[in-house]
Amino acid sequence: MSEIKGALCAMDKNSAPGPDGVGSAWYAAAWETVKEDLFSLFECFYRGDADLERVNRAHIVLLPKQPGASTPHAFRPISLQNCPVKIITKVLTTRLQRQIGNLIDMDQTGFMKGRSISENFVYATELVQSCYRRRRATLVLKLDFAKAFDSVEWCSLMDILRARGFPDLWCSWMEQLLKTSKSAILVNGQPGPWISCKKGLRQGDALSPYLFLMVADVLQQLIKRDGGVRHPITDDPCPVLQYADDTLILVRASVTDIRRLRKLLDDFSAATGLKINYEKSTAVPMHVQPAPLARMIRILQCKEGTFPQTYLGLPLSNYKLNMSAFAPLIAKVDKRLSGWSAMILSQAGRVVLINSVLSGLPIHLMTALQLPAGVIKAVDAKRRSFLWTGTDTAKGGQCLVAWENACRAKEDGGLGIKRLDVQNSCLLLKLVHRLFNPGSSSWAHWARGRIDLANFAGEVNGAHWDSLRALLPAYRCLSRVAVGDGSNTNFWLDVWHGDKCLAEQLPALYSHSTDDSVSIKQVLNQGIERWLVPRLSSAANRELSTAHELVRGITLSDEADEHVSCFSTHDLRLDTAQIYRASTNEGASCQFAQFVWKSYAPPRVKFFGWLTIQERLQCKTNLLRKNMIDDSLCDLCSGAPEDGNHLLFECPFACSFWEHIGWSPDSMPRSAVLWQISAPENVPSRFLSTMILLCCWQLWKHRHDVVFRGMEPSLPRLLASCKTECRLWSCRLPKNHSEVVDRWCDLFSVT
């Protein structure tokens, strides 16, 4: 019963229901009522006598793969199943997930816990660039499966499950779920006739991805066991990198190998039902002569491609990527901007779109690639322009606050916009961490056999290694090493004794070292003097005795060195959000952050308060400084230049307003220290920051009425607008605080 309830609780409560109209949220709410019936269904399913045909039904929703889809193949069929069947498949999925890692090849990274799409791409890049730089004749084949999930043959799936050792009981469960399934296609919201399914796996079923992986893994096993399709560099079987149905094969560019590969692909398709769409597949040659290339293309019947080639949504290339390779990213940003009615959005609304959409577009790229500085600059220019003008261009005078200040965290006085360069480095640190904690990463295991983890030097050719080596010092600051065999721990630069590395603990001795990449194991085997210059200074000699004591205290074991970071999650992955926060934390706390961002004011008013405190309001003194107007006299009093402080606190009109609601004008601070305002006895101190922002906001709006609408300054009208706004804001305050709103409204009353 606990397994059933756990599966139900793990399901998305907002997912669409199946044909019965009852979703997982209802079953969770009615658990005490339905649990016995669900348990009875599971018992019948276990025995194989459940009448699943009545409940194993689904509506198929056709989702367009791209805008303007008009033909059937341009839609993706998603199945909306009845919840009881979804609970059954969820329980089975949970069980299968415990073993799937032992059944699927490490080069398959789709849907696998502990495996990463970015590492798959980095591995592909490494293999491609290694073959290119070694001038090996290579064909990089990217396969496209036609209707992958929909074309799996059930009989083939059952044969695969039995061959992989699944018990007969499990196979009978799979047969029940597959053979009793019926679907109806929703067209304009109306279901069509019920269709009895004969093959394929439902997209939207929790179990389907893992069953598909079992089928797709057959291709891996065929190629590896055949031995006739060789690696471009060695005589090993060629690498087959997969992310679900996205498949990349690097094969030796010989007619014999290609002919054998085509035979294996055809056998795979015939056995499993997974048809390869050769018309959409591409073969990219490297160091291949035209004549044999033409023969190989004819054998494969696919089109010839060039680098960079899109793989897993990222630009795969045999050379270091330049700015032009990232043009699709810039185009995505432009497309988003063109679709938004930015001019009618407040600047606070634009910040939300920047943080939730624009800043998210490069993340997939940044998990695997170091973005060129020019790309980051181009994206930042568009984000900055969108923030201040709502367009894709902005002049310096239109940007009210420096971009680096806007990119600070809100706790540090910024808008919380992410710095892409720092975020990129934080995300790439996950790759560095993976090299020290390989887990089930095929790329990490491959790389560890070719590099020295003490300095990342070795037989690797990928262009990304320069970026990873540059991040190694930062990773060392974030990690501590529990010494095992000492082979992967840098004696000088890793933190393995105390809270600092030996280079900082023994600076004089370190300055006399001949190799700062030496490992602990090398020092113990050959002695520390082997890695120092012959003549030491007196300070270095004193530190040498300390180093000898440390070395004598080291006891090596047969275990590998363990690199642990305080930023690691429970599954040993790096928490990049925490690293980003630590990297951008400037130490000193921002005094006004809580006053502005923790208030209950609307977002646009918070943004106004943020500008006010930084003295960046578009008042007349600032406009005059930018040569946008000719005079800076205040329109409310005509007695002094209009800056933020004058407008809100020093203007006679503003003074009369504050005096009316209980503040002495002499006690008011400057606008730049707005958070220092304290409440007089007659003013409620609860939610003070919210109400101070309300008053300043209404003064600002009243000024606009005078400047742009030609209205006369009017204290009664200002008080009335404050009272109305206060009532509107009451819904933003926590419940049961209406008395505070009433007291403020009394202050705004005209006597």
Task: Give how far Cα 234 sits from Cα of 136, 189, 451, Å.
Answer: 10, 56, 18
**HEC string for 243-281:** ECCEEEEEEECCHHHHHHHHHHHHHHHHHHCCCECCCCC
Residue 587's pLDDT is 67
As a whole number of angstroms, the distance between CA 305 and CA 284 comes to 5
Residue 751's pLDDT is 64
With beta carbons less than 8 A apart as the criterion, state whether 422 and 584 touch.
yes
Residue 175's pLDDT is 94
With a CB cutoff of 8 Å and minimum separation 6, the contacts of 50 are: 41, 44, 176
Task: Give how far Cα 50 sits from Cα of 18, 205, 269, 503, Å.
Answer: 19, 19, 33, 69
Task: Give how far Cα 645 sits from Cα of 395, 655, 714, Å.
Answer: 26, 11, 20
Nearest to 243 by CA among 315, 312, 149: 312
Average pLDDT of the chain, as a whole number: 91
Residue 74's pLDDT is 85
Calculate helix-pair angle for 255-272, 208-226, nearest 10 degrees: 150
Residue 702's pLDDT is 96
As a whole number of angstroms, the distance between CA 303 and CA 587 comes to 56
Phi, psi of 57 (to 5 degrees): -130, 155
β-partners of residue 322 are none
Where do the structural domains in the chain lie, given as residue ranges? 340-418, 593-747
In the predicted model, residues of the chain with pLDDT beneath 70 are: 587-588, 751
As a whole number of angstroms, the distance between CA 106 and CA 329 comes to 30
With a CB cutoff of 8 Å and minimum separation 6, the contacts of 166 are: none
139: left (phi over 0), alpha (psi -120 to 50) or beta: beta
The total number of residues shown for the chain amounts to: 751
Strands 246-252 and 282-286: unpaired
Phi, psi of 27 (to 5 degrees): -65, -35
As a whole number of angstroms, the distance between CA 362 and CA 369 comes to 10
Nearest to 382 by CA among 347, 348, 313, 336: 336
Q: By percentage, how much of the chain surpasses pLDDT 90?
A: 71
Task: Quickly tell me which residue has 């590395």 as its tokens.
Answer: 501
Task: Quickly tell me which residue has 């892409």 as its tokens.
Answer: 420
Nearest to 129 by CA among 308, 352, 384: 308
Residue 266's pLDDT is 96
**Residue 120 CB-half CA count within 13 A:** 26
With beta carbons less than 8 A apart as the criterion, state whether 176 and 74 touch.
no
**DSSP-based three-state secondary structure for 242:** strand
Task: Quickly tell me which residue has 């409940």 as its tokens.
Answer: 55
Residue type, 166: F
**Residue 651 CB-half CA count within 13 A:** 25
Residue type, 163: A
Give tens-digit pLDDT for 206-260: 999 999 999 999 999 999 999 899 999 988 899 999 999 999 999 999 999 999 9
Please say whether the dihedral angle defined by the alpha carbons of residues 223, 227, 233 and 234, taken in this order, is positive or negative: positive
With beta carbons less than 8 A apart as the criterion, state whether 153 and 273 touch.
yes
As a whole number of angstroms, the distance between CA 101 and CA 738 comes to 57
Q: By percentage, how much of the chain surpasses pLDDT 70?
A: 99
